[in-house]
Amino acid sequence: MEDISNLEVAYAPPFASAMDVVNVVGNVADNVLAGRFTPVTADQFMDMWKNREKNNVFFIDARPAAAGRAVQEKHPDWHAIPLEEVAARVNEVPKDRPVAIICNTGLRAYDGLLVLARHGITDVVNSTGGLQAAIKMGLSV
């Protein structure tokens, strides 16, 4: 996996980003294999959400503020902490409970998970595919 993470892919701004998707896939896979990242499917995430009163999971929505706040207004145990604010608001995230983080597609939540890990919060799962995957499966918050 490290070879893929560090693969030198030609950088051509009109055709590819500075960090190619191949490198991103390698980084994610390396983090999964090393135990730094625990992915869950959208339906597993929604099952955790449905059973939140029993499982004591702290839920974070890493989408932009307006999207997360709309859900938080309906569900006070849904915590809208946009990716850009995770580091500044890390003290709001309990270290003694499991954490589940989600966003629209999974990328912002993955980045948020890495920020939390740098602050010692490691019992965190991320919903692969995010809320879009859940919606396609007919699930919602």
The string of pLDDT tens digits covering residues 35-70 is 777 889 999 999 999 999 999 999 999 999 989 898
Maximum CA extent, the chain: 50
Cα distance between residue 94 and residue 50, in whole Å: 20
- Does the reported pTM lie above 0.75? yes
- Of residues 16 and 72, more confidently modeled: 72
| Residues 52, 58, 63, 67, Cα dihedral to 10° | 50
Non-local (6+) Cβ contacts of 108 within 8 A are 62, 63, 82, 83
Helix or strand or coil: residue 60? strand
pLDDT in the model for residue 3? 62
pLDDT per residue over 84-108, tens digit each? Answer: 999 999 999 999 999 999 999 988 9
Are the C-beta atoms of residues 117 and 36 closer than 8 Å to each other?
yes
Residue 72 has pLDDT above 80, yes or no: yes
Cα distance between residue 59 and residue 80, in whole Å: 9
Residue 131 has pLDDT above 60, yes or no: yes
